[in-house]
Structures are given as structure tokens and as C-alpha cells.
Chain A
Amino acid sequence: ILGGRTSRPGRWPWQCSLQSEPSGHICGCVLIAKRWVLTVAHCFEGRESAAVWKVVLGINNLDHPSAFMQTRLVKTIILHPRYSRAVVDYDISIVELNEDINATSYVRPVCLPSPEQWLEADTYCYITGWGHTGSKMPFKLQEGEVRIISLEQCQSYFDMKTISSRMICAGYEAGTVDSCMGDSGGPLVCERPAGQWTLFGLTSWGSVCFSKVLGPGVYSNVSYFVEWIQRQIYIQTFLLD
């Protein structure tokens, strides 16, 4: 996260780290149910097998396992069938853990939006992750507040790409607070009036975040995929006996 700050344990209990040996942390991910996390499809390029992955939850410092940490293996990886590597569209995947997590104050699922719940431009939300801060890869979870940008305005930053309805743009013109490499798959969450935090985006792509090109980050639009997500979980849980 560029321009963010170090978070505190328990502030983002749905944040998880998707890890694969020998690299360790590869991508962020988000807990949405006791045995289900969301991340982005491009994290699995070159590592499609569930066997090489594990999910670590309840940590703040990647380098210091906490008492609240829970680690699970990956049982199933479901990539969106329309994911396209070339244009990074439909960049979302659902991961089934090998067993339920224990819900604690430091490991808890985030809410999913309803399919008709879409974010207005100029709404302020949070992004979190252990990705590049512009100068280094941090050990401690970083958080940053970003503003939702309209798709039309966003398209003007990315001439070479088509910003589709499967995407959300967030950040600032100057790119002062933005996600970066290593944050992919992590959450863009917004607090709803009732005080519940809801997941609206998954960090997906953007300009090369520690170079001259600035501009907002692009996130997979979770509202667009909610029905697909719920359907895949239902099929995996109830129909594949």
C-alpha cells in the first residue's frame, strides 16, 4: 500500500495472506465465510495447484506469528471461467479451505454486498495489504483510505485498457494512496451505516505503482460477482457430494 500507515492487530480480521513456498506471501485474500476466502485469479498464474498454497489469518506482522494466527491449507481453487490474463478482466477466484476457521476477534468474515449494492463515486473506503509501500515490502499490515472514482474518469487514466463494469477504481489522481504489487487479492472495504464492513473490491491491477505513472488502482467489483460467488459456494457445499 502506497501512502498508507501501519495497521493494528484486529482492525481487519478478514484480511488473510495467500502463501506458497518458497516465496512465502504472494497475495492478499479476504475471509467471507468459515471455510471460504476470496482473492483474484491472477495470483494463481503459474501456480494453479491447490496443493502448493496455504492461507494465513489473524496476523498483523508476517514475520511474527501471533497468538491469534490460524493457518489453513487450500482444498479447492475456483477461477472465474471468463478470467482473461491478457486484459485482466473477471479477475476473481474463490478458495475453499481444508477446514473451517474458528471465528475470533482477530479472525472474522467480512460481509458481501447484495448484487444491487454498488458504490457511489467519492465514497471513502479502505484498502489493506502487505504489498510494496513504494520503498520496501513491509512485514506489518498496511492500511490506506481511498476514494471511489467513476469508471468514466478512471478510463481516462488507462488509455490502453478498457475499464469494464467488473472493475472499480479507487485512489487519487496523484496516486498518493494506492495498492501495489503484493496487495493483489486483498480487500477494498467500506463501512456501511449499520457499522458493518462490506467487501466491494479485490485489489487487481493499476499502473506500475512505484514508477512515474500515477493514477488510481483498479479493483475487481465484488457486487458484480456476488451471485456467482454464492452459487459456487452452494454447489461446492451441497451439490458435490
Chain B
Amino acid sequence: CLYNSCLDSCGGSSLCDPNNSRNNCSQCEPITLELCMNLPYNYTSYPNHLGHRTQKEASISWESSLFPALVQTNCYKYLMFFACTILVPKCDVDTGQRIPPCRALCELSKERCESVLGIVGLQWPEDTDCHQFPEENADNQTCLMPDQYVEECSPSHFKCRSGRCVLASRRCDGQADCDDDSDEENCGCKERDLWECPSNKQCLEHTVICDGFPDCPDSLDERNCSFCQDDELECVNHQCVSRDLWCDGQADCSDSSDEWACVTLSKNANSSSFLTVHRGATEHHVCADGWQETLSQLACKQMGLGEPSETKLLQQQENDQRWLMLHPLWGSLSGTTLHKLLVNGQSCESGSKISLLCNKQDCGRRPAARMTKR
């Protein structure tokens, strides 16, 4: 596509492939640049006046950081509007024509704000020569001028009570940035319609409460999200399933979390590590009857560890807690988890249970990088 924005076939991430068909690319596209989502128009077309080929490129450009920061200096009331008319130029949906800012808007913005940039050793963006833009009402060429409804601040700003704009990341950051300190008022989570972590007063969007991902340091945002019966357990996604179904080898929670971390190694007094299965969310040891080395390998792999380094059969104690034993037909059972091959124990002939040690994953070494002796 020459001189016009590429359609989705080129995506936002690469130049138009040379063999790309000459699509009719001069179509308008909806504005997605967060910075300019409150303009009096909703469609734009690329490349823009700064040479960016896509909105994605515009969003990571130098100018998309420069202008919002410059707006905070209050150098010109309509600077943000001007910045958006060159970052996401207006596109007339009916004609597909691009409508530029008027030269006066450009000249006023530059006149009022260029000196401010000079103070911090920065220059006005090169590609914004105002002469490229038409005079207002010149030979009925339309161009853009702000009216009284134009928002001075962008959605990435917080509007101070005084009318100034400060970056949203500075709202309630503990430092007053507005000339009237209004960015540090009403900072409680509730006042901002946010959810507050009891432990550290961190504010969270309501959308992340009870979504299965802990956000508060003590995960309190994922507590009291569902009310399961006594004989039920809560899945990570807060669904309730019967305790009996926990670690039975079949996923019953829709996020399969009833089958997570079912096989572990538990230390005991003399530091043997017993193979432990959390059937019904209760710790069970494993009877050694019929055990094979391949099962030790499966257990270590299931725990994300390396190869087994030691399998021992240890005598059970009298007061031993519950244990599980191999299903008689375990060899023919499909499915790949160890705990799926185990059933509640009748009599454990050998009277022994499995103790297991696994190596760590072999990782992070680089034998080829060794310095070779000369």
C-alpha cells in the first residue's frame, strides 16, 4: 500500500510486504490511541503528519510522550488538541479525505510552547512545519480549529480543579502536581470507586476482584468470593466442587484447579521425603505394593523436577495416616497423572510406603561457553 495506512493484512507490526496487493488503503480507521480518545472526531488515517505508519507506532513514539508532558506546563490551552490532530489526523468517513489542523492552530501551539521545550533542552518536533497546513477558510479547504467543547486534557491526564492537566500516573502518587494540590485530594480508594486492599490500602479496579489472580499482598481480593458447603472445596476460580473429587485424577473445576499440586514430597523427622498425594485435600502416603521406577519418574516429572535420584520403601508406622495404593490395572489406564493411578487403600501387603528423592531440573549451565585452555 503506497502512502496510505495498511489494512489489517499488514498488522501493526511490520512494513507492508512488497508483494502485498495494492489494497484500497486510503480508508479511515477508528482512533485507538488512548491519548486522543476524547476528540470531536473518531476516525483517522495513516500515515500521520509525523510519518508514523500505524497508531501502534504513534503510541510508542517520542511525540506521544512529549506532548502530554508539555501539556502539563499549561503553555497553550489547545496544545493537546493540536497534538492529536497531527498524531491521529481527522479522516472524513464519507470522502476518506484527511482533514489537517489549520495553520493558525499550529502556529499558536508552537509560539506558546516551543520556548518551554527550549528550557529543558528539547526541540519542537521537526516534522511539524506549520506551513504545510492550510490557512483557515482558504479556498474552502477545511481544516481543524478548536471550539469551546474541545477537551484541554487527554484521557491520559487528570484535570485539576484549576483546569490544568497533569498526567494520570501522578494522581494520588503522594506528591502534589496540580497548582491547587487537587490531584492529591479524595485519594481514598472508595472516593475513586476502587476496591481497597485492607493490608496496604492499595486500590484495585473492581474488575480484578475474585478473578482468580491475587493482587493484594495477602490475596484478600480473592477471599470470600464464594460460599461452598462443608463437604465442598473452592476452586481457584471460586467454583465449588465436592471434597471427594479433589485430586481424583479427573478435572472437575472448570479451571482444573482441583487437580493442581496433587503430588508432593513431605519431609518427616529423619528427613526422608515421603511421596504424598492430596486426595480429597487430605494428605495420603503411597503403599509400595507393585511400585515401579517408571512411577517414580512420573512423580518427579509431575512435580516439575528432574529424574528420581532415590526411591525407598519405608516401613509404615502403626498410627500411620491414610494411604493409597496402585490401581490393579494401573498399567492399562490412560491419562498421565500419577494420582489418577491410585485408589483408596485396602490392605497394603508390604506394609511399606514410598519415599522419593528427585533431582532438580538440569538448567542454567552453558558447557560450550567454557574457556578452552590454550
Contacts and interface: CB of A to CB of B under 8 A. Distances in A.
B366 interface: yes
Interface string A192-227: 100111100000010110011100000000000000
Given A213-B62, A241-B335, A10 B169 contact: no
Contacts of A12: 366
B365 A195 contact: yes
A212 B122 CA distance: 9
A195 B362 CA distance: 12
Contact of B304 (A23, A47, A160, A234): A234
Contacts of B221: none
Contact of A238 (B14, B34, B336, B368): B336
B259 interface: yes
Given A235-B256, A238-B336, A160 B62 contact: no
Interface residues of A, number: 49
Contacts of B11: 45-47
Nearest to A213: B62
A140 interface: no
Nearest to A199: B364
Interface string B249-264: 0010000100110000
B221 to A, nearest CB: 13
Contact of A111 (B12, B68, B335, B364): B364
B259 A160 contact: no
Q: Which of B68, B260, B362, B365 has the most CB of A within 10 A?
A: B365
A160 B256 contact: no
A4 to B, nearest CB: 16
28 contacts: A10-B366, A11-B366, A22-B17, A46-B12, A46-B13, A47-B13, A103-B362, A105-B366, A108-B363, A108-B365, A108-B367, A109-B364, A159-B69, A160-B69, A195-B365, A196-B363, A197-B364, A197-B365, A205-B60, A207-B62, A208-B60, A208-B62, A212-B62, A234-B302, A238-B302, A238-B336, A239-B256, A241-B336
Interface of B: 8, 11-14, 17, 34, 56, 60-62, 64-65, 68-69, 122, 156, 167, 169-170, 213, 251, 256, 259-260, 302, 304, 334-337, 361-369
Given A238-B259, A239-B256, 15 more contacts: A13-B366, A33-B361, A45-B13, A47-B13, A105-B368, A108-B365, A110-B364, A112-B363, A155-B169, A159-B65, A159-B167, A197-B366, A211-B62, A230-B304, A231-B260
